[in-house]
Structure 1
Amino acid sequence: MKILLIGSGGREHALAWAISASPLCDRLFIAPGNPGTAQCGENVVLDIADHAAVASFCKLQGVSFVVVGPEGPLVAGLADDLAAAGLKVFGPSKAAAQLEGSKAFTKELCAEFGIPTAGFGRFADAASAKAYVAAKGAPIVIKADGLAAGKGVVMAETLEEANEAIDMMFGGGLGAAGAEVVIEEWMIGEEASFFALCDGTNALPLASAQDHKRVGDGDTGPNTGGMGAYSPAPVMTPAMEARVMKEIIAPTLAGMAQRGTPFKGVLFAGLMITAQGPKLIEYNVRFGDPECEVLMPRLRSDIVPALLAACDGVLDQITLRWSDEAALTVVLAARGYPAQPETGSVIRNIDKAAALDDVLVFHAGTKQEATGALLAAGGRVLNVVALGKTVSEAQARAYRGVDAIDWPDGFCRRDIGWQAVKREREG
């Protein structure tokens, strides 16, 4: 079959790498793609915000299956419009994508269906939000309700930081995303990312991962879209995964179906593993980035039948095999990220990194000049991924890959996987 993959980041390069390996995939298009995805299929110039143009391209090229990578097009209803044009689409409807598009929507769903999460309040003006913060105290978490490209969460350790975040959001610092604000209690525990394919009724657990959101070593500095990740997350034991499926994923699917907005696609549950058990931090309605970059190399099964089963409502007929090895990715970012990344610098020797044993390099924010030069074209630019028998081994291999790349204007965290490495050393 001919498949169209929507997106241009590291997640999409990882998905393109996995999809292109499927015997079911005769031809893969990626819109708009990046220099890395061009190695897996054909990049196409297509305005993905123009849903009619996407549908027309699919009809013209004989595309029968569309996989939507990023959240923006899903929240904008791309899956609905393509389905109305007779195409099979992996990704939730606009109504179901509210699980990511509106934090308030998800918090209300949790309250209605008894899904464990942080205590919260939702506010449409700064004065009431500040009054709530004053009553609750700090530390406290301030979140923009809408999509903010990973920058809509402020972990406020003081009342002053919380009030500054509230003023920033209601002052238009995040655009329409900050028109409403959700304020949550500060949960104590260990974070983990958990993924499940869903077909509206059934859920098939995938693998777990742990992301590193803060920009600096030791989990310092501002939040980012993610500076690295590893899989599996040791805190997600089989018993904990079973609890997450029973207490969080299953009631979410049931609740969405009951509301008349069944969820089909991939549910990405950001979790806090607390002393009381797993609690939902938030949902994403697509594969994580950079988590996808460690999930795909560990997946030993063909991904395409699983994605199709999610569309067709037959996930209960699918089983997936996963490698016992750990995978770890280090994000190479442009100087100035996450505030003002400096773009346009030249990157060399990616091929040397990719030639190392058990190392992959996924492109996230790059562009290829006509001369062949590869340039940084975003904040998060490359994902250097490695496999290993342990997280420690995968970490060492990934940083060997990082050090093989010649990019003086890039930077990375040097401690990705530190919690798992510490566990391994302590035995």
Structure 2
Amino acid sequence: MNVLLIGSGGREHALAWKIAASPLLTKLYAAPGNPGISEEAECVPLDIADHAAIVAFARDNRIDLVVVGPEAPLVAGLADDLASAGIRVFGPSADAARLEGSKGFTKDFCARYNIPTAAYGRFNNAPKAKAYARSVGAPIVVKADGLAAGKGVTVAMTLEEALDAIDQCFEGAFGEAGAEVVVEEFLEGEEASFFCLCDGQNALPFGTAQDHKRVGEGDTGPNTGGMGAYSPAPILSDDMVERVMAEIVRPTMIGMAEMGTPFVGVLFVGLMIGPDGPKLIEYNVRFGDPECQVLMMRLKDDLLVLMNAAVDGQLGHLSVRWRDDAALTVVLAAKGYPAAPEKGSQIVGVADAVGDDGVAKVFHAGTRLDGDRLLAAGGRVLNVTALGETVSQAQRRAYETVDLIDWPEGFCRRDIGWRAVEREAAKG
């Protein structure tokens, strides 16, 4: 099979690495890719916002499957344009991608289909949003309605923070994404990420993970796109997974199909597990980043087989096999992230940091080459990922690998996986 992978981040490097291992693969292209992805695929300089150019490339190169990594092209209708051209694509239509593209849509959808989530209000002006926030009180959560690269959510512990976050949205801090705002109840509990592969009718459970969104250790500071993750997430026991499937995922699949927008691709279920069970925080319509990295490290099955089954409506016949090992990834970010990351600094030692035993891997997220010099080119720059018999062992291996990379201008959290490590320590 000839496959075209859309994207250029750490998630796409992990997907490229896993797709490249498939016996089904003939040729893998990536648009636009990055230096790490170029080790697995031929990178092509396509503008992923230029759907016509992507369709033309897919036709000219006899692409059998397009895999769309990031959310923005999906919300913009790339899957629709490819499907209209007769090109098979792994990823939801624009209408189905509203589950991520509009938080207000998703909240209304949850209300319609009785899916457990936080109480909310949605507003198109600041005075009404502020009045609602005042009536509810803090802590409270303020969300820009549209895509904001993981940065449009404020968990406000004071009313003043909430009012400031509402002002930021309507004053253009997140562009068009903040033209409408969702203000919702603060949920108590433990966050977790749950994934399903979907074929429009069937949803196949595809692993669990726990992300670390805040930039600082101890879960402090502003939200980011994610500073690290581990898998599996202990909070998502087999019984809890079945509750999530019954109370959240299956009603969502049924609802989307009833609305004429069946969901095909990856459904990422962001959860809060509290005393009343699971509640939906948000949906994403693609693999998480950095959750994808730990899932790909643990996946035993051929990813390309699973993606083809999703596109062909055949997931009802399949199951997924996982390594018993835990996996943990640490994000190395550029100083100044998430507000104003410093770009252009040189990174040394990435190739030498990973041995040949397969227990560690460095995925490139925001890098570029200047000759043979590897430079930082984004906020989140590298994802140092390791396997272990326990999360504690995976954590130790990941940080040992981090310490072999010479990049003074980078930083990372040193407590990724802390909840699972504490659980393992308590068990002795």
User: Which bin holds the TM-score, normalised by the shorter protein?
Assistant: over 0.9
Contact 1:101 1:147 in 2 (8 A): yes
Query: Which residue is 1:194 aligned to?
Result: 194
SS in 2 for 1:210: strand
One-letter amino acid of the structure 1 residue matched with residue 367 of structure 2:
T
Query: Which residue is 2:151 aligned to?
Result: 151
Matched residues in 2 for 1:58 and 1:317: separation? 29
One-letter amino acid of the structure 1 residue matched with residue 233 of structure 2:
A
Deviations 1:311-344 (A, max 9, x none): 1111011121100100000000000000000000
Query: Which residue is 2:365 aligned to?
Result: 364
SS in 1 for 2:403: helix
Once the two structures are superposed, the pairs formed by residues 247-262 of structure 1 within 5 Å of their partners are 247-262=247-262
- Listed as ranges, the gaps of 5+ residues in structure 2 are none
SS in 2 for 1:253: helix
Contact 1:348 1:405 in 2 (8 A): yes
SS in 2 for 1:419: helix
Matched residues in 1 for 2:80 and 2:256: separation? 16
One-letter amino acid of the structure 1 residue matched with residue 425 of structure 2:
R
One-letter amino acid of the structure 1 residue matched with residue 84 of structure 2:
A
Matched residues in 1 for 2:281 and 2:363: separation? 27
Once the two structures are superposed, the pairs formed by residues 87-166 of structure 1 within 5 Å of their partners are 87-166=87-166
Matched residues in 2 for 1:354 and 1:177: separation? 39
Tell me the CA shift for residue 309 of structure 1: 0.9
SS in 1 for 2:148: coil
One-letter amino acid of the structure 2 residue matched with residue 359 of structure 1:
A
| 2:191 counterpart of 1:184 | no
Matched residues in 1 for 2:4 and 2:139: separation? 44
SS in 2 for 1:404: coil
SS in 2 for 1:177: helix
SS in 2 for 1:193: strand
Deviations 1:273-296 (A, max 9, x none): 010000000000000000000000
Tell me the CA shift for residue 359 of structure 1: 0.7
Matched residues in 1 for 2:294 and 2:402: separation? 16
Contact 1:253 1:262 in 2 (8 A): yes
Contact 1:226 1:289 in 2 (8 A): yes
Once the two structures are superposed, the pairs formed by residues 151-300 of structure 1 within 5 Å of their partners are 151-300=151-300
Tell me the CA shift for residue 90 of structure 1: 0.1
Matched residues in 2 for 1:155 and 1:105: separation? 20
Tell me the CA shift for residue 369 of structure 1: 1.0
Tell me the CA shift for residue 353 of structure 1: 1.5
Tell me the CA shift for residue 64 of structure 1: 1.2
Matched residues in 2 for 1:390 and 1:161: separation? 38
Tell me the CA shift for residue 400 of structure 1: 0.3
Matched residues in 2 for 1:193 and 1:69: separation? 17
| 2:392 counterpart of 1:384 | no
One-letter amino acid of the structure 1 residue matched with residue 212 of structure 2:
H
Tell me the CA shift for residue 403 of structure 1: 0.2
One-letter amino acid of the structure 2 residue matched with residue 369 of structure 1:
D
SS in 2 for 1:242: helix
- Listed as ranges, the gaps of 5+ residues in structure 1 are none
Matched residues in 2 for 1:417 and 1:117: separation? 25
Tell me the CA shift for residue 408 of structure 1: 0.3
Contact 1:356 1:401 in 2 (8 A): no
Matched residues in 1 for 2:363 and 2:34: separation? 10
Tell me the CA shift for residue 356 of structure 1: 6.5
Query: Which residue is 1:318 aligned to?
Result: 318
Query: Which residue is 2:30 aligned to?
Result: 30
Deviations 1:98-140 (A, max 9, x none): 0000000000110000000000000000000000011000000
Count of aligned positions? 426
Matched residues in 1 for 2:186 and 2:345: separation? 39
One-letter amino acid of the structure 2 residue matched with residue 228 of structure 1:
G
Contact 1:192 1:208 in 2 (8 A): yes
Query: Which residue is 2:342 aligned to?
Result: 342
One-letter amino acid of the structure 2 residue matched with residue 64 of structure 1:
D
- Cα root mean square deviation, aligned: 0.6
Query: Which residue is 1:58 aligned to?
Result: 58
Contact 1:210 1:229 in 2 (8 A): yes
One-letter amino acid of the structure 2 residue matched with residue 214 of structure 1:
R
Matched residues in 2 for 1:118 and 1:306: separation? 33
Moved over 6 A (4+): none
